[in-house]
């Protein structure tokens, strides 16, 4: 069996399993909207649900339309990535890993949307309660130094995006 299929059969279910396991542990251990400080002021384990996409985009869209939109986007991504995956050479290393990470991440967040209508997020990174404030064009801008909560599936997709970028800059495309 070639590397690309081994990657698919190992990485995709592993990401899905770790994503679902960690979300289950959080839901069992932390009340909704609760948090457990890990590195006080910098990193917490929280229990939140995100009805939108990255950074809460589309969260204000009507629930029925929003869910259908995310289901369609997930299906299109799977179809496109499957077509790309099928064309990869058997020597490819980087892209099979990246696409397998995306498949696992999509599956984890897709199951959350089916079960809860939202994605469970639990990793919260921030810099204490610090915020940058300034005035621009007569408006006060208040920007907290925190990253929106995320999960294992989001992390896998982010790592995959970095691998896609690295692949795009590689000299020998046949080996990506």
- Cβ distance 153 to 104 under 8 Å? yes
Alpha carbon distance 111, 113 (integer Å)? 5
**CA dihedral angle for residue 147, residue 71, residue 69, residue 23, rounded to 10 degrees:** -30
Catalytic annotation, residues? 121, 154
């Amino acid at each position: 069996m070639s590397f690309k299929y081994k990657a698919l059969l190992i990485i995709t279910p592993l990401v899905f399993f770790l994503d679902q396991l960690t979300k289950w542990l959080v839901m069992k251990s932390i009340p909704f909207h609760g948090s457990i400080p890990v590195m006080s002021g910098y990193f917490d384990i929280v229990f939140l649900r995100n009805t939108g996409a990255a950074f809460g985009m589309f969260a204000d869209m009507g629930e029925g339309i929003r869910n259908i939109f995310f289901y369609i986007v997930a299906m299109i991504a799977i179809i496109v990535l499957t077509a790309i995956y099928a064309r990869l050479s058997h020597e490819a290393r980087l892209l099979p890993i990246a696409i397998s990470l995306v498949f696992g991440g999509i599956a984890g967040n897709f199951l959350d949307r089916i079960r809860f209508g939202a994605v469970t997020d639990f990793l919260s990174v921030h810099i204490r309660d610090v915020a940058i404030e300034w005035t621009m064009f007569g408006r006060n801008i208040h920007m907290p130094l925190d990253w929106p909560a995320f999960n294992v599936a989001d992390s896998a997709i982010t790592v995959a995006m970095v691998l896609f970028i690295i692949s795009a800059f590689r000299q020998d495309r046949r080996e990506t």
